[in-house]
Amino acid sequence: MLYLRRLKATLQGKLPVMEQFVAFFESLTSLQKVGWILACLSLNWVLEFILPMFKFGYKKWKHSLINLFFLLITMAIHSAFGLVTVMAVEWGKSNEFGLLYLLKAPDIVELIIAVMMLDFMAQYVVHYCLHHNKWMWRFHMIHHSDTKVDATTGTRHHPGDYITRELFALLAVVLFGIPFAYYAFYKIVTVFFSYASHSNIRLPLAIDKVVGYVFITPNIHKFHHHFELPWTDTNFGNVFSFWDRMFGTLHQSDPREVKYGLDIVDGTKDESIPYQLWIPFDMSIQSANKIVTDDKDAVAGSAS
């Protein structure tokens, strides 16, 4: 009821700007969230049609449905963690626990800090761990096994992978005392960047260079999906590129040199859901992508 009263006051223009912001993101409905996902996907699909980086010989709808299957799973996981996050936020508020409660900074400063810390812990740090921890990597391989990376690849996460990401996000919320509205805002932002950074679009290098000083661009993230090391273990960021710059994990060159897939899994089964779900438990698959080969069978596209 409090959310509804705030929303009504927002529509009537009776709340200050930041309170309107909080009211809006605290009261986001599931329908609005799904609408945002569809809007981001649709925009990137249009751009992929107009400005493709690679020409894939594949059935786009079939490929998309496979990745959207994983999206349905992650949405269910996110909904469950959303409830836990609400409880964590309320606990933090009751106990004034977290960095933001100590700082007592202006709301806009707290929002910036919250977004940056969520991006650091719930994206960069966990992503780095997913590549460097043996068992985390086994679950993360599914995301990298896609040989035709496009916007829908941003939704391609094994349940074990996504649960790990949500745990890191929950940890960030608790440690920094992040309000639920700020958390919800970041989730909206990260949806946009997840689809945009994976999209198969040809971004002019001049624009990429300027935007890439602060944000992760499609060109930057493409190297992360190269089929072998060392590029696979670079460019871990999701929203901000300066984390990779700060910690020496940024790589930039000609994105047309990228070849998608993963050198330790069967690239011909990247659209087999049973095979993908079983990858973490298949002990015949090596647990770290440390082999560099000349096998190009996993590559499905060529630069246009």
Q: Look at residue 199 and tell me if it is in a domain.
A: yes
94-135 residue pLDDT tens: 999 999 999 989 999 999 999 999 999 999 999 999 999 999
Helix/strand/coil for 214: coil
Of 205, 221, 208, 188, the closest CA to residue 39 belongs to: 188
Q: Look at residue 303 and tell me if it is in a domain.
A: no
Task: Give the separation between CA 49 and CA 58, rounded to whole angstroms.
Answer: 14
Q: Look at residue 302 and tell me if it is in a domain.
A: no
Task: Give the global pTM.
Answer: 0.87
Q: Look at residue 283 and tell me if it is in a domain.
A: yes
* pLDDT for residue 291 is more than 80: no
Q: Look at residue 81 and tell me if it is in a domain.
A: yes
* pLDDT for residue 298 is more than 60: no
Q: Look at residue 39 and tell me if it is in a domain.
A: yes
Task: Give the separation between CA 97 and CA 253, rounded to whole angstroms.
Answer: 43
Q: Look at residue 223 and tell me if it is in a domain.
A: yes
Residue 262's φ and ψ, nearest 5 degrees, are -145, 130
226-266 residue pLDDT tens: 999 899 999 999 999 999 999 999 999 889 999 999 999 99
Counted domains in the chain: 1
Q: Look at residue 13 and tell me if it is in a domain.
A: no
Which residues are CB-neighbours of 218 under 8 A, at least 6 positions away?
A: 53, 196, 197, 198, 199, 200, 201, 203, 208, 255
Query: Domain residues for 118?
Result: 31-293
* pLDDT for residue 3 is more than 80: no
